[in-house]
């Protein structure tokens, strides 16, 4: 049975360390469901900042100082 998030609109990144404990079949099913949500547009990711590659040091500082919420994206 796939891992169920407490809410279909949220994902708990704290569960990620459990991935190595999953059987290959459960992992495959869970990842398939995750990709289906992403492809359909029902999965949203909070973007905390977008930085050009030349600004990588600034993006890293944002992360180090814990001033970001969401994912920090580097744009090539």
Transcribe 13-72 into DSSP letters: GGGGGGGGGS-HHHHHHHHHHHHHHHHHT-----EEEEEEGGGHHHHHHHHHTT---SEE
Domain that holds residue 73: 45-76
Residue 75 has pLDDT above 60, yes or no: yes
Burial of residue 21, with CB atoms counted within 10 A of its CB: 0-12 exposed, 13-18 middle, 19 or more buried: exposed
Res 6: pLDDT: 47
Mean pLDDT (the chain) is 81
Of 24, 68, 62, 66, nearest in space to 46 by CA: 68
Counted domains in the chain: 2
In this structure, are 8 and 36 located in the same domain?
Answer: yes
Residue 62 has pLDDT above 90, yes or no: yes
Res 55: pLDDT: 97
pTM: 0.51
In this structure, are 32 and 6 located in the same domain?
Answer: yes
Report residue 22's pLDDT band, with 50, 70 and 90 as the boundaries. Answer: confident
In this structure, are 38 and 62 located in the same domain?
Answer: no
In this structure, are 31 and 51 located in the same domain?
Answer: no
Chain-centroid distance of CA 25 in Å reads: 21
Arithmetic mean of pLDDT, 29-48: 89
In this structure, are 9 and 31 located in the same domain?
Answer: yes
């Amino acid at each position: 049975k796939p891992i169920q998030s407490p809410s279909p609109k949220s994902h708990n990144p704290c569960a990620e360390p459990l991935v190595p404990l999953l059987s290959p079949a459960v992992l495959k099913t869970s990842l398939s469901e995750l990709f289906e949500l992403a492809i359909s547009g029902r999965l949203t990711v909070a973007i905390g900042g977008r930085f050009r590659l030349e600004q990588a040091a600034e993006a890293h500082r944002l992360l180090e100082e814990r001033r970001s919420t969401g994912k920090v994206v580097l744009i090539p």
